[in-house]
Amino acid sequence: MATAVNICDFPNSYVLWRGGAPINDKRKPGHMPWENSVRVQMDARCEITNEKTGKTEHYVLIAPCRTEWMYRNEILWQNPNREFCGIYGEGWSVAGHVEVLEYAEGRRDFKTPRPIKEVFMEFSLTVKNHQKVQMLKSDAEVIEATNKGLPIIARTEILNEANGLKAMMEYPIKTMNYNDHNVRMQVDTGPLLFADLESNVSNNIERMNVSFVCYNNYEVAEFVLRHSRSVTDNTGKQHIFAAYDDIRRVPVKTTFYVAGKL
C-alpha cells in the first residue's frame, strides 16, 4: 500500500478461511456438522504506521453478510437474522454479529480480539491491485472519472502527532455526489475502517471501527462510527442494537485514484 501502483482492486480481492465442524452447536435446526470454507470480498483496508519505530500493520474489512443455517435443505435464513462482519490483520480478528442482542446469551463482544489461528483451521488473503492507476488531482478530474463510470479508489490519511501514529484508510468510492456546473464533489461512502489513533489500547486491531465517511474537500472528513446502543422498552427489558451515531470530524489528507486513465 506504499505507492500508487498498489491500489487495491476491491471487487476482486478476498478473505478466505476454513473453519471446523460446529459439533457443539445445539441450536435448532443448527448447522450441518461439516467443515466449511468461505470466500468473502474485501470492503476496505487500513494500515497503521508508528512513525517513531517505522513499524506498519495492515488490516482488512470484509463485506457484511447475514446469519444463515449452513447446508440445510429445509431452511437457510436464521430468524432473528443478524449481520456478520469481520476485521482481520496481524494475526488477529475482530468478528461477529454486530447487532449485539445475543451478548446476554454469553456470546463474545464484537470488539474482543481473537487470534486468527484459534478461530480458523486455514486463513489467507487474495489481494489484487489495479494494473494501471492515475492520481486525480482536482474535483474536475474526479467528476470526469465519475461521469465516465470508472472505478475510483480513495486513500485518506490521519495523523496523531502526540503518539506518532499514522493511519491510511483505503476504500472504493461507492457513492459520489457531484455538481457539474459548480465543479464540486461530495463523497458519502462506506463501509470502511476508521482507526481511532487516540484510544488507549494494547492491540491496534482494537482501534479499528466500522464506519462511513463524508467529505467535499481533501483536508477535512467526517466519519460516522458504528457502536452498540441500548434502549429499554415499557416492560423494563433492555434491547441492544447497532447504530451509526458517533461522528468524528478530523483533519485528513485524501487522495483519489482512478483505475485506468481518464
pLDDT tens digits, one per residue of 121-166: 999 999 999 999 999 999 999 999 999 999 999 999 999 999 999 9
- Answer yes or no: is pLDDT of 168 > 70: yes
Query: How far apart, in Å, do the first and last CA atoms of the chain sit?
Result: 22
- Answer yes or no: is pLDDT of 107 > 80: no
- Answer yes or no: is pLDDT of 18 > 80: yes
pTM, entire model: 0.91
Give pLDDT, residue 50.
96
Q: Which of 47-56, 220-229, 236-245 has the lowest mean pLDDT?
A: 236-245
At 231, is the pLDDT very low, low, confident or very high (cuts 50, 70, 90)? confident
Give pLDDT, residue 24.
86
Cβ atoms < 10 Å from Cβ of 67: 15
Q: Which of 18-32, 139-153, 182-196, 222-236 has the lowest mean pLDDT?
A: 222-236
pLDDT tens digits, one per residue of 60-90: 999 999 999 999 999 999 998 888 899 999 9
Give 36's DSSP letter: E
What mean pLDDT comes out for the span 213-232? 90
- Answer yes or no: is pLDDT of 91 > 70: yes
* Sequence-ordered strand ranges (E) for the chain: 14-19, 36-50, 55-62, 65-66, 83-89, 92-97, 114-115, 122-126, 133-136, 152-160, 165-172, 176-179, 184-195, 208-215, 220-232, 238-251, 253-259
- Answer yes or no: is pLDDT of 108 > 70: no
Pick from 20, 45, 212, 191: nearest CA to 117: 20
- Residue 64, preceding peptide bond in cis (omega within 30° of 0): no
Domain range annotation of the chain: 4-43+58-126, 133-259
